[in-house]
Amino acid sequence: MADKVKFGIKNVHLFPITAYTSSVPTYGTVIDVPGAVSLSMGAQGDINKFYADNIVYYQTSANNGYEGDLTVALIPDGVYENIFGYTKDTNGVITEDASKEAKAFAMTFEEEGDTTGTKFVLYNCTATRPTRDLNTIEDQKTPTTQALTVSAAPLKSGEVMAMTSATTPDATLNGWHSSVYFAPSTP
């Protein structure tokens, strides 16, 4: 049965891209990112219109992926180390190194629905370092959040995103966050 409404986000996972073989990424060990608060992703790409005969004679749109903000309760250490290249020393101190480039990654997550929800994968993401907003405690303790600006670009083979549907089999749904899904006809 298909959902009638959608709400909420949960089960965010990141898979660092460790290598490319013939333009196909190899993904590393999954990083669980608990505490998802929100994800706002806007489509990227322009519409190009060609005018002839005093009308829009032809038009096309470019699919440049998505860009937006992922807000979570707290960024796990694994994201700092395996995506942003921070190092953890023997004292457990994590140090940022400006000379290290962030790694690209795939991101899986779920959008809840009234019956089944939808699971997504964005195949080729990059992110900014997280923002921090710290506030004093007043009459209530309000948790702070951290946000990453995430950009999801197409892979060289064209894939940007995949999502489940009401007809997706349980075997596919149950393994969604353990590896990066590719359609059977795709590498």
What share of the chain in percent tops pLDDT 90? 65
Which CATH architecture best describes the domain 6-76+103-174?
Roll (2.30)
Q: Measuring CA to CA, how many Å separate 156 from each of 22, 62, 102, 115, 123?
A: 10, 15, 19, 35, 11
The predicted pLDDT at position 140 comes to: 87
Give per-residue burial for 156-165: e unless 16+ CB within 10 Å, then b: eeebbbbebe
Name the band, by pLDDT with cuts 50, 70 and 90, for residue 163. very high
As a whole number, mean pLDDT of residues 98-125 equals: 92
Domain residues of the chain, as ranges?
6-76+103-174
pLDDT for residue 169 is more than 90: yes
As a whole number, mean pLDDT of residues 131-143 equals: 85
The predicted pLDDT at position 44 comes to: 87
pTM beyond cutoff 0.95: no
Phi, psi of 7 (to 5 degrees): -165, 150
Residue 133, CB-side half-sphere exposure with 13 Å CA sphere: 10
What share of the chain in percent tops pLDDT 70? 98
Return the HEC string of the chain.
CCCCCEEEEEEEEEEEEEEEECCEEEECCCEEECCEEEEEEEECCCEEEEEECCEEEEEEECCCCEEEEEEECCCCHHHHHHCCCCEECCCCCEECCCCCCCCCEEEEEEEEECCCCEEEEEEEEEECCCEECCCCCCCCCCCCCEEEEEEECCCCCCCCEEECCCCCCHHHHHCCCCCCCCCCCCC
The predicted pLDDT at position 145 comes to: 92
